[in-house]
Amino acid sequence: MTTTAAPSAPVCPRCHKVPPLCVCTGIVPLDNRIGVLIIQHPQEQDVDLGTAHLTALHFRNAAVRVGLSWPSLAKALGRPADPKHWGTLYLGSVKPASLLPGQDVIALTRKGAAHPDQRGQLAGLEGVILLDGTWSQAKALWWRNPWLIKTTRIVLGPHRPSRYGKLRREARREAISTLEATALLLSKLENRPEIADALHAGFDKLLDRYREREKATRTSVG
Ligand SMILES: [Zn+2]
């Protein structure tokens, strides 16, 4: 008998969660004008609280790709696309608080400064790319996909702490889940607050289920 790995529980084919954490039933995909591409680092291990698939299920125009590198945006998407018309959310070592006070979504120059033409950079975006993983995994994805540099780099301004609360310890205050980042980004870029509301409702359900399961585990153990 092997003790190296627990038998993998069957996961939901849509949200990739085990049954106690599956909250995807009843999600009605939103008609999003700006496409969403989530690139997930292959070693992203947060099977319980990861949000890549749950996020994508909320949109008609969204995809999750798992892997380290693609030769082009078109190959990652599986359809023709010009990276010049896409944006990539990548924080790196930028400190958003020092860029543009009061701004939620900030377009950067290649040197990591606030772009002088915010409106022009953000207005024509056809899609946004999110790098799903830890801070260092996102950094690896950024460097392993040089075509990302052709996209408009975006960071999110200082915002309230993640809904994860104490469930997850993030190294930086700016770190929020892929779902929360997408909620902020798309609701601002499309000027539709209901996008954020729908995503947050899904996320809150996941966190509730997670806490319930943790409580049940503790009760049954001791
Ligand atoms: Zn599910």
User: What's the gap in Å between 64 CA and the centre of ligand 1?
Assistant: 15
User: What's the gap in Å between 201 CA and the centre of ligand 1?
Assistant: 15
User: What's the gap in Å between 94 CA and the centre of ligand 1?
Assistant: 35
Distance (Å, whole) CA 203 – CA 180: 8
What's the pTM value of the predicted model, to 2 decimals?
0.90
Per-residue pLDDT, 168: 64
CB contact set of 61 (below 8 Å; sequence gap of 6+): 31, 32, 33, 34, 35, 36, 127
Distance (Å, whole) CA 48 – CA 55: 14
User: What's the gap in Å between 36 CA and the centre of ligand 1?
Assistant: 19
User: What's the gap in Å between 128 CA and the centre of ligand 1?
Assistant: 24
- What angle is formed at CA 55 by the lines to CA 53 and CA 58, rounded to 5 degrees? 110
User: What's the gap in Å between 59 CA and the centre of ligand 1?
Assistant: 15
Which residue stretches of the chain have pLDDT < 50? Answer: 1-5, 171
Q: What's the token pair of residue 17?
A: 């969660």
